Structure 1
């Protein structure tokens, strides 16, 4: 059977290899060893005698398996024979190494010699160790504990079968001091109990279930009692509440009531006006500079011409040499103007994403204001509505329009002139379509047409992809009873671009694209160039882009000075950009300017009938004005690293001139009304998320060409 070591929870092999007492510190062990083997008066003789026997006269015939304790205290003497002879040949009684049967056998040596403890003559034969430790019985793992003094009683079965056992002993009060090491070094005496659990001392471990301790209820909970306490936990806790707990409850109730008052009662009484939190200003702190009462409508202009417009700008010389008068102007000299819907008489800054050209910015009214006598359209790398750029647009849609004349805008363009990517624009569009509201533009932009033929049909009735337009919604031949602002007149929303700025990276200068966008289209989008004038071929050329499936563009490009931009060694200067046009069918023309110098002119005859389409007219619609700063991959390559956000497009002024006999700055003229039509289709004009006329809840009106109906205002015989 494997050996059991009941004094430590370690393997027996580990205990054989230990060189020190597991129950004592190193200093204590050395002290005890000296007390056992050294005599104070005869140190040399006794010490050498014992050491000699221990080191050289071991009886190897002793059976080690008989001993039930092979730890540290047995390794030096368990195999020593009781009758070993010393070096002088005399017999040495080593029976003191055996545990005594009683305290009566403890003898005190008068000469200070080693104390002799007479053990039983059968101690070696019974398998007990020859050291001074009484090990517990091999199979008695949990010895009984006497209730009186909790002394440890351990019995050792007698191999001879006589039923005798050896008992642990305690030191007698009459024991001499030289033998006191027996009680101090023996772990089985009451002062140093042995623990069967591996702990020390044993008296701290309850060995019987009958023993009751104060904390037994923690380890043996009663389910019924616990359930009863759970049901009455609140009442029991409240019953046994101390002052500190009561104070905590009072604090919680106070905080709860304070929260109700602050977040519910106070807002309620404030909203109802029961309490007024505003306190009057303290007296005698500030003095009134004046008692004058400023009128609330002081910012409202009573004249269409800005009073700040200089007198030298009140007239303009037209192409034919006639003088046109100033009919509208805005100098933007008032500081801090805002352009939210309803804030301004003439301009509105929309809050939209301009999806028609897949712009990367969100147009916000926050990005538009007036400062230092200019209108500021600022673009920031600022995330807004899930777009990473924010910029500004102002438009005079349905507020201020003009039918023909000369429109002049002075502007400083954003960023550097040599850097491509930004899309600043100064342009006009027919008032029947609202810029950025695709539901309103479908079927109207960029039509300027009064024919009733293939030009009004979807795709111009051509399968070659020349047009992706849905057809003219408000044609001249709309049937009776259909939805039309003035039946018998072809209506649309043509576009005239005063300026769309880009850059020529080859020569490192800015470029102005100036164009007329119309529909239906010429073959290959090419007008009759015999009726187009370019005045300086060194600075202006016809644009290689003539249009696409959505619009025909009669366009020219002109180089710009880099000083007319925001940044640069000599940047910051303003330049004038203008258009001048008359919409007469025979003598009409459209001319563009950079500064006071005309760049090119298109005459009305350049848009004569071509193929299966009729005349396209220079716009007869009331035109609204749009100014914006955009950015889009649809326009040009974007040189991101060279655009230094924020960038600003600054407008110094806007001035409009018209012939004295043709003044018309109304958005709802008699010949081309718009007001009633817009009011009856507000959904399309006020919801930028609607991308088609049908999605807005309306349908295209029928025409006599495709609708199998009649019109009292138009007949195909008129063709």
Structure 2
């Protein structure tokens, strides 16, 4: 069986005759390899018994020098080995033996004896290298790890030997601090300084206008991108003198919202303004002749301008604008006023400029949202007034019935079950003209100031005992009281023909207190024109109490034209186009004890219901609130369906 070359020889072999036929080259001075590979004679074990001390001095030059701070006895002249360490980490690097064993019996020496004999006597081979240097590990290294060799410091660096100077006042420390400061400053400039500078102003103007070499380019100059940003409901440009007002009943009311329109170039596309939006629709419910386009609305010279022009688009011959605060700005109770210069001339019939408010649950021009909602303003009761046509066959009403009455069945789609919800309307003004004298052709401008309600009184006749007319010389109750789609409670006030086309401005307003005991008072300038008391809308025939609107109201400013409102003097109107309706400001005042500038007042929330039906509120092409058109059912109620 072959012998294992790496197996340790048995003790019996090691303890046998130390003399061997193999000569020890380290002890034989006559050996040709003695001068090359004679190892230093260092004692490692108490059992060490050298047979000769020759050659120790001659071989010291081959050993690595000990580091000055390491301690190890390197004496070669001493023969006293009783106090030397018995531990070592080399295999067999000198004539001293392992545990008293002679060199001649080293197993590694025997393994290479034949090959060595066959080589040149001065050659350096594996055998001679292994005999001279500690290549193989010694088992004592694990037992005595504290044994120190000369070159240990090269392989085991001590962290404590390295100086660690924390002084930053050095070249490297200074560079580190400077680099850190530069990185932090760069981040601040990129994410804070630069955005602020570019937001506040343009740093430099281009040296050459962008349109200098392009005759087809329209250079309108620099336009700020965030021109409509507002952080408060009250416009900072509102003068202090306008921040309070004495109401019709003599109480001081506070300003809660204002827009002075002093920043020129504002736009009112969807998302451009925090409070207003110009719609992009045809106002089909009144068969208007114009298309409402956001491009027709802007601010200029400190005014909001709505421009009406003979401009063919969307299959229509005219274009104009309608601005709404729907679902953005709402109020309940108080005073709504605006300073307005009406468009055109007071002696030319046909234009239909308006400034009004409507309940936020209906969106003007989006017919499906107003079906069954406008112009209802009913108490929390259920009777014939909530039914289609008011359950009458005489044609008094063509309305489909109230969609959200107080008696809606449990589980039906209703924003506040148990309350009547709707979209009533109060008009600050709708401008027209009338003849000064029936015998003379001269005409003068006027405004209709009205409330639209449903259900209707019999023959559209409210209780006039609860109307109040302040100056019959300039104001009269409108002879038009309504039709099958609305009951109109209206007063007509004569205007000065100078209050048109930017020549002069006049303030138009109404104040109202909501509820079945409320009232509405209209103003032209500082003068009251007429007042509607809620008692004029008391029970009548088969309908109950109508109320002064309790709903949160949104603002509407528009400039239209329709034969359903006024006679059209097309010859005279053509000379006035393009015509512009101008608003100097819009303001809302309220009693400090009853302030409500929100579209979600307690008990009359609107935004959640709108969000659940957003697809209908965003689609002006839908005209009916039926499942076939909107995928929403008409809510059932206990009065009609017996739930």
2:304 and 2:205 mapped to 1: Cα distance? 40
Per the TM alignment, residue 669 of structure 1 is displaced from its structure 2 partner at its CA by 1.5
SS in 1 for 2:558: strand
Pair 1:601 & 2:531 matched: yes
SS in 1 for 2:298: strand
Q: How does 1:565-580 map to 2 (within 5 A)?
A: 565-566=500-501, 572-580=503-511
Higher relative contact order (CA 8 A, sep 6+): 2
Pair 1:702 & 2:636 matched: yes
SS in 2 for 1:705: helix
Kept in 2: contact 1:451–1:613 (CA 8 A): no
Residue-pair matches, total: 418
Kept in 1: contact 2:228–2:274 (CA 8 A): no
- Cα deviation 1:581-638 (Å, max 9, x = unaligned): 001433x110000111010001111111111111000000000000000000101111
1:637 and 1:296 mapped to 2: Cα distance? 42
Return the TM-score normalized by structure 2.
0.64
Change in CA separation of 1:702 and 1:423 when aligned onto 2, cut-off 3 Å: same
Alignment partner, residue 209 of structure 1: none
SS in 2 for 1:326: strand
- Cα deviation 1:542-593 (Å, max 9, x = unaligned): 1000000000000110100000011xxxx6100000000001433x110000
Q: How does 1:240-255 map to 2 (within 5 A)?
A: none
SS in 2 for 1:562: coil
Change in CA separation of 1:684 and 1:597 when aligned onto 2, cut-off 3 Å: same
Residue ranges of structure 2 left out of the alignment (5+ in a row): 1-203, 210-222, 437-441
Kept in 1: contact 2:451–2:488 (CA 8 A): yes
Kept in 2: contact 1:448–1:619 (CA 8 A): yes
Q: How does 1:272-351 map to 2 (within 5 A)?
A: 285=207, 299-351=228-280
1:381 and 1:572 mapped to 2: Cα distance? 23
Pair 1:630 & 2:560 matched: yes
Q: How does 1:127-146 map to 2 (within 5 A)?
A: none
Return the TM-score normalized by structure 1.
0.57
Kept in 2: contact 1:420–1:505 (CA 8 A): no
1:500 and 1:319 mapped to 2: Cα distance? 22
Kept in 2: contact 1:419–1:505 (CA 8 A): no
- Cα deviation 1:309-335 (Å, max 9, x = unaligned): 111110111121100000000000001
Match of 2:340 among 408, 411, 414: 411
Alignment partner, residue 660 of structure 1: 592
SS in 2 for 1:706: helix
Match of 1:691 among 620, 623, 628: 623
Alignment partner, residue 45 of structure 1: none
Kept in 2: contact 1:515–1:554 (CA 8 A): yes
Q: How does 1:68-467 map to 2 (within 5 A)?
A: 285=207, 299-449=228-378, 450-467=380-397
Alignment partner, residue 510 of structure 1: 445
Compare 505-514 and 451-460 and name the one that shifted more.
505-514
Change in CA separation of 1:312 and 1:358 when aligned onto 2, cut-off 3 Å: same
Pair 1:585 & 2:519 matched: no
Please tell me whether Structure 1 or Structure 2 has the larger radius of gyration of its CA atoms.
1
Change in CA separation of 1:646 and 1:601 when aligned onto 2, cut-off 3 Å: same
Q: CA RMSD in A?
A: 1.9
Residue ranges of structure 1 left out of the alignment (5+ in a row): 1-281, 288-293, 710-719
1:470 and 1:530 mapped to 2: Cα distance? 30
Per the TM alignment, residue 708 of structure 1 is displaced from its structure 2 partner at its CA by 1.9
SS in 1 for 2:361: coil
Per the TM alignment, residue 447 of structure 1 is displaced from its structure 2 partner at its CA by 0.5
SS in 2 for 1:411: strand
- Cα deviation 1:217-236 (Å, max 9, x = unaligned): xxxxxxxxxxxxxxxxxxxx
SS in 1 for 2:369: helix
Alignment partner, residue 500 of structure 1: 430
1:302 and 1:343 mapped to 2: Cα distance? 14
Per the TM alignment, residue 358 of structure 1 is displaced from its structure 2 partner at its CA by 0.3
Kept in 2: contact 1:523–1:611 (CA 8 A): yes
Alignment partner, residue 671 of structure 1: 603
